[in-house]
Amino acid sequence: MPDEDDFVLGEPEPTADGDLEDDSGVLVKVPHDPNLLTFVRDGSRVIVGFNSKDVPDEVCVAGYREQLLKIVQESGCSTLTFDLTGIRIIPSGMLGLLVTMKNRGQAIEILNPSAEIQEVLRVTRLLSLFTIRPPV
């Protein structure tokens, strides 16, 4: 169940009869694919990798969120390190998810961001929220 500070797009609204209604035009039901992200545990840190290289899929953000919340709960990690090797751009929904995870108390590290991603983080004033790390 999302907290009130969670960033969620296309959240369906219940109608009077209890059915869900969604007029956002955004695909709400995303097939759960446990292979959207990869996780490597390193002490109190979990390194997160994207299986779809180049550009993370905006439609998969709900799946990313589900996987991240599950791994945080199961591992008890304090830091999420997102390995952006090979990722050219990050969709806005993914930026919102990073902020949500930060607001939930996770330290967020970004490993090997491209110059374009660093510029987006700078322009959106999110750069100061995250620790930027060079490649390992």
**Can you state the percent helix, strand and coil of the chain, rounding each to 5?**
30, 25, 45
Tens of pLDDT along the chain (136 residues) come to 555 555 554 444 555 555 544 444 343 444 445 567 889 998 899 999 987 666 666 777 888 888 899 999 999 899 999 999 888 888 888 899 999 999 999 999 999 998 999 999 999 999 999 999 876 5
30-133 CATH, one of 3.30.470.20, 3.40.50.150, 3.30.750.24, 3.90.1170.50: 3.30.750.24
Q: Where are the domains of the chain?
A: 30-133
Tell me which residue of 45, 40, 116, 53 sits closest to 86, measured CA to CA: 53
111 membership: H or E segment, kind and range:
strand 107-111
| SS3 of residue 45 by DSSP | strand
What is the reported pTM? 0.71
Q: Which amino acid makes up residue 63? A: G
